[in-house]
Amino acid sequence: MNDQFRMKRDLDLIRAILFKVSNEPAEEVRFRPVEIEGYDEETIGYHVWLLGDGGYLDITTNETAGGSFAYVQVNEIKWKGQEFIDAARNQNIWEKFKTKVVEKGGSIPFSIATELLTSIAKNEFGV
- Nearest residue to 98 via CA among 120, 73, 126, 124: 120
Confidence of residue 108 (pLDDT cuts 50, 70, 90): confident
- Nearest residue to 20 via CA among 44, 53, 54, 46: 44
- Nearest residue to 121 via CA among 93, 95, 102: 93
Query: Is the predicted pLDDT of residue 111 greater than 90, yes or no?
Result: no
Query: Is the predicted pLDDT of residue 62 greater than 80, yes or no?
Result: no
Region 11-26: what's the mean pLDDT? 88
Give the HSE-up count for residue 109: Cα atoms under 13 Å, Cβ half-sphere. Answer: 4
pLDDT of residue 71: 72
CB 123 within 8 A of CB 96: no
Residues sharing a CB contact under 8 Å with residue 90, sequence separation 6 or more, in sequence order? 121, 124
